[in-house]
C-alpha cells in the first residue's frame, strides 16, 4: 500500500477535518496494514493465540526480515 492510499482510506472512514494533522488510526488496524505490507497477504499464525500474541509474532517476523546488517556483514557477506 502506498502512503497516499493509506491516508485516503482513513479519510474515507473518518470525515472529520483534522486540518494539517492526519486522521487517527486504531493500533490494531495499523498493525494489520503493516503486517500485510511487510509480510504479505499470505502471512498467518496457526497457533490458537490472542490477537496481541499474533502482533508479537508479526513484529518479530518484521524485525527479523528487515534487520539492518552491520558493516562487517555487508563487507564480508556474512
Q: What pTM was estimated for this model as a whole?
A: 0.73
H or E segment to which residue 11 belongs: helix 3-13
Residues 43/61, Cβ–Cβ less than 8 Å: yes
Q: Kindly tell me if the per-residue pLDDT of 51 is higher than 90.
A: yes
Q: What is the average per-residue pLDDT within 38-64? A: 94
Measure CA 42 to chain center.
14
Cα–Cα dist 67/14, whole Å: 34
Measure CA 13 to chain center.
19
How many domains is the chain partitioned into structurally? 1
| Enclosing domain of residue 22 | 3-76
H or E segment to which residue 67 belongs: none
Q: What is the average per-residue pLDDT within 49-59? A: 95
The predicted pLDDT at position 78 comes to 65
Amino acid at each position: 500500500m502506498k502512503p497516499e492510499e493509506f491516508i485516503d482510506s482513513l479519510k474515507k472512514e473518518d470525515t472529520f477535518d483534522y486540518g494539517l494533522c492526519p486522521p487517527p488510526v486504531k493500533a490494531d488496524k495499523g498493525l494489520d496494514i503493516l503486517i500485510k505490507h511487510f509480510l504479505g497477504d499470505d502471512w498467518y499464525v496457526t497457533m490458537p493465540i490472542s490477537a496481541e500474541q499474533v502482533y508479537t509474532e508479526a513484529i518479530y517476523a518484521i524485525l527479523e526480515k528487515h534487520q539492518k546488517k552491520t558493516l562487517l556483514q555487508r563487507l564480508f557477506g556474512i
